[in-house]
Amino acid sequence: MAQLIAISHSCSPNFVCNGARKPDPYLGKLSCWRKIGSRSNGFNGNALVFNNVNLTQASRNKVIKVVVASGNETEASVSPKGGLRGKLNKVVLAYSGGLDTSVIVPWLRENYGCEVVCFTADVGQGVMELDGLEAKAKASGACQLVVKDLQEEFVRDYIFPCLRAGAIYERKYLLGTSMARPVIAKAMVDVAKEVGADAVSHGCTGKGNDQVRFELTFFALNPELNVVAPWREWEITGREDAIEYAKKHNVPVPVTKKSIYSRDRNLWHLSHEGDILEDPANEPMKDMYMMSVDPEDAPNEPEYVEIGIVSGIPISVNGKALSPATLLSQLNEIGGRHGIGRIDMVENRLVGMKSRGVYETPGGTILFSAVRELESLTLDRETIQVKDQLALKYAELVYAGRWFDPLRESMDEFMKKITETTTGSVTLKLYKGSVTVTGRTSPYSLYRQDISSFESGQIYNQADAAGFIKLYGLPMRVRAMLEKGI
């Protein structure tokens, strides 16, 4: 039986179905439809009739757009004529398909009298979170679902600049969630322009950092957009309230098992918060981790991996050139099986409170070790010191959601300039949770064996050190003379 799906005039049903190209393991499975005919219905003019086919791969950087209201369900997509809190025309909602965002769809329609366009960004969170989104959005009352594969853009334009800058927040955090929010928010601004929306919305709570990261990006890229944050407005206080609201508005409650942890996953990392982790004295449970094995259970033999780097940006693994997203995915797999990249920390949230989080960043930990080690060859002492100082501020800006701040952009240009010669390769040994550098080489290396050797050479005369030490130590010598009355 063919299923009727209305495609709006702003949509371009550009799908890649079975047989068109090979599946890509990094995007996972997304629904696609094969055109078998067309006919007219009463919704948005012409409608296309598609047969549901197997879940398949869409090419990178392609946009999958589906208007999910159709047939007898068309009535559900028509917005109320007025809202309880105001009137908006169309809202683009950051959508995951979970309980919160499923409830937000009818709440927006009820309170703002608007159409809701659900937007989902694929940043490498996995197939389980992307599966069945069309049906969920339709059941919630959305008029349209837009899915974008942002994995390559995420790694190339957000992760790699942070890696090149050496940005680490509060000594440990590799900024996995912090980097993902601006790429998602930027795509939402683009979609809002494309579909003619006058507002954007997100499901972030009023206690977290993500609300700031989303909204600062909205402000920077389109200050005319209205922003709706339901968690700061509605009376829903928890999961049970949300379930009751969903039942009242005939929204099917997602039947997925509720995790005891609050998790955020993308191609760079997986974060864990909540439950027993809220007490910093508790050790994480062994079965909590999902990207990495327990170091105690990792292989008893080390694995060596060579990372090729050009101007501070990784380009290859073991001599094979790879796209940014593919490279990171491979290193996640390699690092994960050796228990690499587990971080347990108490951090200072932007909103003022402290929070405890556990992060898994296997591929990112390998890359940070490689780039930092290569810089030991290619950067001089003063440059490394200045770079490290600026990296702290860079990380703070990213953590605080100021990705599109002119200060971060200017600092990024500085990082790009001073790492022009950070080119070469680094070999690392992975063993039971540890990353050890075993070799590094660069055509721009400032290391000279003929100078560093303990044997005398023509460039460095050891006898010259005596005069250097006297001049370098002169301030200390003068102070001592003053104290002793000399």
Residues designated as active site:
100, 181, 210, 262
Q: Which of 18, 19, 71, 79 is nearest to 48 (CA)?
A: 71
Letter string b/e over residues 169-205, b meaning 16 or more CB atoms within 10 A of that residue's CB: beeebbbbbbbbbbbbbbbbbbbbebbebebbbbbbe
Query: How many angstroms separate the CA atoms of 37 and 4, rounded?
Result: 10
**Tokens describing residue 175:** 């900024």
| Cα–Cα–Cα angle for 438, 441, 444, rounded to 5 degrees | 150
Query: How many angstroms separate the CA atoms of 334 and 173, rounded?
Result: 20
Q: Which of 133, 41, 116, 104 is nearest to 80 (CA)?
A: 116
Query: How many angstroms separate the CA atoms of 141 and 249, rounded?
Result: 10
Q: Which single residue is written with the structure tokens 């000279």? A: 448
Three-state DSSP at 18 gives coil
Which amino acid is it at 167?
Answer: A
Query: How many angstroms separate the CA atoms of 38 and 75, rounded?
Result: 21
Beta bridge mates, 39: 47
Q: What strands lie across the sheet with 342-348, from one edge to the other?
A: 262-265, 270-273, 354-360, 342-348
Query: How many angstroms separate the CA atoms of 112 and 215, rounded?
Result: 19
How do 46-52 and 90-94 pair as beta strands? unpaired
Measured between its terminal Cα atoms, the distance across the chain in Å is 102
474, burial (CB in 10 Å: exposed 0-12, middle 13-18, buried 19+): exposed
Letter string b/e over residues 328-364, b meaning 16 or more CB atoms within 10 A of that residue's CB: bbbbbebbbbbbbbbbeeebeebeeeebbbbbbbbbb
Three-state DSSP at 283 gives coil
* Torsions phi, psi for 459 (to 5 deg): -80, -40
Residues with Cβ < 8 Å from 165, sequence gap 6 or more?
A: 387, 390, 391, 394, 395, 411, 412, 415
Query: How many angstroms separate the CA atoms of 159 and 85, rounded?
Result: 39
> How far out from the chain centre does Cα 67 lie?
26
